[in-house]
Amino acid sequence: MKKATKKDIIFIRDRFLEEYADAVTELTYTNDYELLIAIILSAQCTDKRVNIITPALFAKYPSSKELSVAELEDVKELLKSCSFFNNKAKNIIKMAQSVEENHEGEIPHDTKELMKLAGVGNKTANVFMIEADGANLMAVDTHVFRVSHRLGLAFGKTVEQTEVELVKKLKDDLHIFHQAMVLFGRYICKAVKPECEKCFLTQVCKTKETFRVG
């Protein structure tokens, strides 16, 4: 696959900033606690499904205080339509316990501290910091991975390698690029049957030949 040139990168940057300057997560939340749980649940699950699940969860457990003493089976029941709900139920309870014990009930706004919480890896921590603080970080999910490779921005075989490549090439406004690539990948540059006719990056796409119709 061809590598994006410096000129290509500038074009991609400008178009993403133009199209998605005000983009935010499609997860529904009202505070840090709800945001972090929604992000944890969204791993290998759609935002749409998470938004269906969380109202009942947050109504029963409105803060880490209530969730920290929740019965595992009760939480599992609320999450049962979510992928990997068994592990996610265990993790969010443990996360809430840690927040209560170590952070006085407040979700920490620090990547390293976030990653000490159950169910929170590098990507989840970065997504939280991007959404909550507009942090200049890159989080690589399946959409970001796919889009960055199709555009020739990255060639790494892992999300960690891809994150390093994107940070090096895009440098600033990374929070916007994360959201941009997620939405672009979700609605236009899809994994199956990408909607190339809607794409505003066709002139710099390195894989468009693969998807050309007719």
Q: What is the set of active-site residues? A: 123, 141
Whether the CB-CB separation of 48 and 82 falls below 8 Å is answered with no
Quick one: residue 113, left, alpha or beta (phi over 0 = left, psi -120 to 50 = alpha)?
alpha
Would you give the distance in Å from CA 24 to the centre of its chain?
A: 10
Spell out the residues 6+ positions from residue 184 whose beta carbon is closer than 8 angstroms to its own: 16, 19, 20, 143, 147
120 exposure class (CB count in 10 Å sphere: 0-12, 13-18, 19+): buried
Match 């994107």 to its residue by tokens. Answer: 166
Q: In 3D, which of 68, 63, 78 has the Cα closest to residue 29?
A: 63
Distance CA 47, CA 18 (A): 24
CA atoms lying within 13 Å on the CB side of residue 195: 8
DSSP 74-135: HHHHHHTTSTTHHHHHHHHHHHHHHHHHHHTT-----HHHHTTSTT--HHHHHHHHHHHH--
